[in-house]
Chain A
Amino acid sequence: NAGVTQTPKFRVLKTGQSMTLLCAQDMNHEYMYWYRQDPGMGLRLIHYSVGEGTTAKGEVPDGYNVSRLKKQNFLLGLESAAPSQTSVYFCASMRYTGELFFGEGSRLTVL
């Protein structure tokens, strides 16, 4: 089992460009999450999904959109990237017992 896989692992964007981060899990988990991690800030929840076709806002949703068309995939989109979105993005899925399984992260730099 691969667990949670994020692509791409690294990306450099120019201000105003758009991109999509893909998260895939093979554990048949219902709940999936996108977090961003910045130095000294810990992890902040961007958006999450409690099942196929559902999405909900987290703590810092502005500037991001998400989609959960298939149970195993959770996409995070940036429509018009800004330097403030330079961060490491982590995807996670939640086991029925409540613990999260994380991907290895996607490092995004916006110039």
Chain B
Amino acid sequence: SQQGEEDPQALSIQEGENATMNCSYKTSINNLQWYRQNSGRGLVHLILIRSNEREKHSGRLRVTLDTSKKSSSLLITASRAADTASYFCATLRNTDKLIFGTGTRLQVFP
């Protein structure tokens, strides 16, 4: 079964608004990562947060991790139409297996 579950499954917002996606997982992890996938393309790594970190920033991205609740959130601030994509969380277990969630489809309208 999949390790991560993203919420919501789909999200539609206007340009300039913030987008928040959540990820829940089931077992202990080494790190949690977020990836982006444009339609028909391969996944691209966005950000990695380690199990001993609580928050991380990268440009317009902000990721939080709560290991007690086994959950993470990805915040994209001031969204742009070019942010339209699917976003996946992935958890690293046993230092060698990266297991993905089911993804959130984000649509940003101009």
A50 to B48, CA, bound (A): 20
Quick one: which of A45, A58, A99 contacts B48, CB cutoff 8 A? A99
Q: Which of A4, A43, A90 has the most CB of B within 10 A?
A: A43
| Nearest-neighbor residue (CB-CB) of B1 within chain A | A59
List CB contacts (< 8 Å) of B34-66 with chain A: 35, 40-45, 48
Q: Which residue of B lies closest to A94 (CB)?
A: B98
Query: Which of A33-64 touch B at CB < 8 Å?
Result: 33, 35, 40-45, 48, 50, 56, 58-59
Count chain A residues whose beta carbon lies closer than 8 angstroms to a beta carbon of B.
27
Count of inter-chain pairs, beta carbons less than 8 A: 60
Number of interface residues of B (CB under 8 A): 25
* A42, B45: Cβ atoms closer than 8 Å: no
B residues with a Cβ closer than 8 A to A are: 1-2, 4, 30-31, 33, 35, 40-45, 48, 88, 90, 92, 96-103
Closest 10 pairs (CB-CB, A-B):
A102-B42, A42-B102, A43-B100, A99-B45, A102-B43, A104-B42, A42-B100, A42-B103, A50-B96, A103-B42
